[in-house]
Amino acid sequence: MHFAGGHKVRGAHGPKGGTSNGNYNMKNRFFYGWVIVAISTFSLLVSNGLSIGGIPVFSEWIRNEFIATGAIAADRAQSIVANFGVFTFLTAGLTAPIAGYFIQKFPVKNLMLLGCVIMGVALLLHSQATQVWMIYSARVMMGASLGFVGVLLNTILVANWFVKKRGLAMGIVLCGTSFGGIVIPLLATPLIKNYGWRTAMMLVSLLVWLVLIPAIIFFVKPKPGDIGLNPDDDADASYLSEAAEITSNELPGLTLGQALKTPIFWVFALAAALIFYPLFVSTQQLILYLRTDKIGMSPAAAAGMISVMSAMSILGKFGFGFLSDKMKPTLVMLLCCLTMFIGTLFFLSFSADVVLLFVIPFGLGYGGTFVLLQRLIADFFGPRDYAKILGFVTVIETIGAAIGGRITGAVADANGGDYAQAFLLVTVATGAALACTIFLNLMFKKETNSALN
């Protein structure tokens, strides 16, 4: 049996060569694709947790040590700390198109191992840094590693294994980014308090060296055909024509060049940049705000709030992702942004008593937007150039995140380390993102339906 493109379907054979016949019920065996989902989820927990979601718990300790040693000036400390995350985000965004090209040239497992090595080395170098440029270099390496062991590669890996259940599989895997934001702060904070931030960073790097790398080596299979299976473990592979190569000229939708000429692309891209502004600031710099004298949270309590926000984002990914299958996705995107915006209103009068009132709705909303941004690219522009358009939008998202981080750090420095005014701008940015999603709802039916037909 063959599907589009002449690729041979091997689903009639099990991993040990057994044939599928009337006496063999494929539904009674465990599908190896769920092992791939588990590995990819853990991969995002470790890679995103150690480079983005969990790494901010180290920021205060690094900042204080570097001020004490004279490595950074106290009046520029918040801007410099903001740059740590900015370098990671920007490098990750710029690496995404390069990684997309490499995926077509080299085995997925090899690229994942490359990403792990870069990540592990970056953490070890980071732990020994005594100058700001050393941390910047380590953060650039972390960003580069995400191109090979982060969201892009893991979602493509999982897409190889699932078609009918791709949405469920993707939803589970993308929760790995949020799990990283929960687990790493709770793991790293007591290690920092007991052993210092340098030793703690070396210890958490063992998640890469001793757990993730062996898991990839022994368990990752790039495609189900490699072990004689079909996607979804489905013996009837007739539907696999839907999984044709995404670059095929026969697929419906717009090319990247055509998408760039549509107004809806730029409204969508602006919305994405405005969403990543508050997302970056809240995941990277909120913990510093919570530790100021004005809010007065302990290190453990502040780390706990970041973990709660990450937990809420998991619920948002599942909840809003499920809702987007039941109602208009652009409307769900609007609900996500509205939920985020409601949370940011508490920055108008922020204190320790209302932190949860921000963290809970904001986490729910940003979890939903994380899923909806990727889905809406396919809804708006079709599958023809999905990977290229996603890569382009990813770069714009990272620019929005970088601008948010830089502005927040600069405003905090201008106010003597007080983040109150800087986080009011988070409210403004989230409100602007909400306005963009309103326009998207008005534009979607009118413009994209005609473009994709």
Element (H, E) at 344: helix 329-344
pLDDT digits (tens, 9 = 90+) for 254-297: 988 999 999 999 999 999 999 999 999 999 999 999 999 999 99
pLDDT value at 238 more than 60: no
Per-residue model confidence (pLDDT) at position 444: 75
The pTM of this model reads 0.79
| Percentage of the chain modeled with pLDDT above 90 | 64
Res. 400 pLDDT band, cuts 50 70 90: very high
Res. 174 pLDDT band, cuts 50 70 90: confident
| Percentage of the chain modeled with pLDDT above 70 | 88
Per-residue model confidence (pLDDT) at position 251: 62
Per-residue model confidence (pLDDT) at position 386: 74
User: How many Å apart are CA 214 and CA 197, to the nearest integer?
Assistant: 26
Q: Cβ distance 337 to 316 under 8 Å?
A: no
Res. 28 pLDDT band, cuts 50 70 90: low
Average pLDDT value for residue range 132-136: 97
Per-residue model confidence (pLDDT) at position 321: 81
How many C-beta neighbours within 10 Å does residue 327 have? Answer: 10
Contacts of 152 (CB under 8 A, 6+ apart): 96, 99, 100, 103, 391, 394
Per-residue model confidence (pLDDT) at position 344: 98
Per-residue model confidence (pLDDT) at position 21: 43
CA distances, 421 to each of 39, 302, 337 (Å): 41, 19, 21
Most confident listed range (177-191, 200-214, 387-401): 200-214
Per-residue model confidence (pLDDT) at position 419: 97
User: How many Å apart are CA 242 and CA 424, to the nearest integer?
Assistant: 46
Return the structure tokens found at 136. Answer: 């910047």
pLDDT digits (tens, 9 = 90+) for 61-114: 999 999 999 999 999 999 999 999 999 989 998 898 888 778 778 899 999 999
pLDDT value at 446 more than 60: no
Per-residue model confidence (pLDDT) at position 236: 62
pLDDT digits (tens, 9 = 90+) for 340-357: 999 999 999 999 999 999
From the number of C-beta atoms within 10 Å of its C-beta (0-12, 13-18, 19+), residue 368 rates as buried
